[in-house]
Structure 1
Amino acid sequence: MTSRGDQRMISDRLGVRAEAAGWCEIDKIPDPPAEVLQAAGNPRLRPARMPPLGMLGTAVGALFIPFVMLLSLLDSAREALERLFESKKDEKRRAREDEKRRKAIVAEQGLDRVFDGNWSGAAGQFLLRWYGHSSHHQRFVVATEDEIVLAAPPKRVSVGRDKRMEVVARLTTGQAMLFDPFLGEFRTQLLLLKFHDGSWLRLTTEEFRSELHMYVLRQTSPGN
């Protein structure tokens, strides 16, 4: 559940009351057929390049990498000690089984693609307008009681995305819903934006088993 502070920020910025929210990205949009592209008005299919300030920030951030690596090594050492008290054999076996099941679901449902592949479907048509709404590479996805709201800065930014974001698209619950194709079985970043006609668009959340995942699982649990 979104904290009160986050709810207030989302309400002030976007004018909606969030049940859950999080930043997401999509994979590279494949090139549509020429006639589809032309019919859609030759829309933008790629995010804008990172602004020069963002490149500078990335370079400066690299100076802190050794410190971060040290913390990571210390954390890894702690985790290694904890694993000494666990059954490595059982853990590896379960991990292999989970990965095998996950890959089977991905292959069966075609989840290695950014969308279902039908450019005439609702998801395909929405995908064609994705970067026309905003050239930023991410979307802040907000689930409310009766709609899914997508927000982003109008143009790509390297810092201050929260302060610059605005609503770029709205989808009512009759148009689309968020869906976890793994039904919570795996700790994943993958979510589907599933449209009323069965077409879908794949989102990648910033966090594994994000707030949006937990919201989806609450909505699909027995009794809801």
Structure 2
Amino acid sequence: MAKRAVRRQARKVLGEDPVALVWCEIRKPIPTPPKDVHRAAGKGRLKPRHHWLMYVFGAVFFFVFVPAILVDMLLDRLSTRPKWKQNRKQQGEATPSDARGSGSGQAAAAPNGRSGSGKAAKAPRNPTNGIFDGDWDLTAGQLLLRWYGNSPNPKRLVMLAPDRVCVAASPRRRLSATRATDFRSVAELPLDQVRVEGAADQPRGYATFRLRFTDGSWLEVGDLAEPEDADHFLRTING
């Protein structure tokens, strides 16, 4: 359950006590918008900002471990070159009848006279990652374009007031969902412009809900923090 200090900050942001609140985040990477749309929105960040230790570990891996791996691969390859030459010589001495036999076996293995090298058809890609409706010019798309511009952390606090929905964020890279008290409002929408949808009895760890806007756009979020807050939030939007 969110701490008293978190609820105190929520009351300060809203000007009243929230009906329900929950920390959440987008469960998949934000899709890449068209360049002109991204430019018009100020070319904000589309990915979370990592902790500085991640960059240190990346540098150590690149300058220490990668050269060691490459040297090891090179030494292994040099030590096995004579075996490659021997195998190549043995293959060159194979009789034509052996080659014909192996070719006929491969042909028989391919059903309906087709070659076995055919590739399976790839499933079509979903350019939106299933997180929003796909129209960058509508409310959900514009909110996504500003998602990491307001905070480098992916977590957002969605608060329900009697007459509106407020999305808030903390400016910090790392935060505790139970103790973050520096969040501020990112967007506020009256209830006649947004509807919150989500099933009440969702399995813990997989719960999601949608912000559906009156212009037809929608945004799906998940990773709901704090079970008591999440359960109360989902029950409230279904009440």
- Normalising TM by the smaller chain, what interval? 0.5 to 0.7
Residue number in structure 2 paired with 1:24? 24
Question: What amino acid does structure 2 have at the position aligned with 1:217?
Answer: N
Instruction: State the superposition RMSD in angstroms.
Output: 3.2
Shift in alpha-carbon separation, 1:19–1:12, aligned structure 2, 3 A: same
Q: Secondary structure at the match of 1:210?
A: helix
Do the aligned partners of residues 159 and 217 (structure 1) sit closer, same or farther apart at CA in structure 2, a change above 3 Å counting?
closer
TM superposition shift of 1:199: 0.8
In structure 2, the CA distance between the partners of 1:23 and 1:126, relative to structure 1 (3 Å rule), is: same
Residue deviations 1:96-145 (CA, integer Å, cap 9, x gap): xxxxxxxxxxxxxx996111111122111111111112222101110111
What TM-score, normalized to structure 1? 0.61
User: Counterparts of 2:202 and 2:135 in 1: how far apart (Å)?
Assistant: 27
Are 2:200 and 1:179 equivalent residues in the alignment? no
Structure 1 unaligned runs (5+)? Answer: 56-109, 219-224
Q: Which amino acid letter does the alignment assign opposite residue 212 of structure 1?
A: F
C-alpha deviation, 1:9, in angstroms? 5.1
CA contact (8 A) 2:30 2:129 kept: no
Whichever residue aligns with residue 170 of structure 1, its letter is E
Check if 1:216 corresponds to 2:237.
Answer: yes
Letter in 2 for 1:175: Q
Residue type of the alignment partner of 2:183? M
Question: What do the CA deviations read for 1:157-201 (whole angstroms, capped 9, x no partner)?
Answer: 245852222222212212212111xx4464351100111112100
Tell me the distance in 2 between the aligned counterparts of 1:132 and 1:211: 29
CA contact (8 A) 1:133 1:169 kept: no
Query: In structure 2, what residue type is equivalent to 1:201?
Result: L
Residue 191 of structure 1 pairs with residue 209 of structure 2: yes
Map of 2:85 onto structure 1: none
Following the alignment from structure 2 to structure 1, what is the Cα–Cα distance between the partners of residues 136 and 165? 21
Letter in 2 for 1:42: K
CA contact (8 A) 1:28 1:46 kept: yes
- Asked if 1:120 is matched to 2:141, the reply is no
Cα contact 1:178–1:216 (8 A) shared by 2: yes
Higher relative contact order (CA 8 A, sep 6+): 2
8 Å contact kept, 1:134–1:168: no
Over the matched positions of the two proteins, sequence identity in percent amounts to: 34
Q: How many angstroms does 1:10 deviate by?
A: 2.5
Unaligned runs of 5+ in 2: 57-126
Counterpart position of 2:60: none
Match of 1:145 in 2: 162
Structure 1 residues 111 and 18: CA distance shift in structure 2, 3 A:
farther
1:206 aligns with 2:225: yes
Contact 1:21 1:140 in 2 (8 A): yes
Distance in structure 1 (CA, Å) of the matches to 2:200 and 2:175: 32
Q: Aligned equivalents of 2:164 and 2:158: distance in 1? A: 11
Distance change >3 Å, CA 145–CA 13, structure 1 → 2: closer
Q: Which has the larger radius of gyration?
A: 2
Q: Deviations over 1:21-76 (max 9, x none)?
A: 010001310001112112222121112113559x9xxxxxxxxxxxxxxxxxxxxx
- 1:6-45 superposed matches below 5 A: 7-8=7-8, 10-12=10-12, 15-26=15-26, 27-45=28-46
Indicate the SS of the match to 1:177.
strand
**Do the aligned partners of residues 5 and 34 (structure 1) sit closer, same or farther apart at CA in structure 2, a change above 3 Å counting?**
closer
Larger CA deviation: 162-171 vs 25-34? 162-171
SS in 1 for 2:17: coil
Following the alignment from structure 1 to structure 2, what is the Cα–Cα distance between the partners of residues 155 and 5?
A: 17
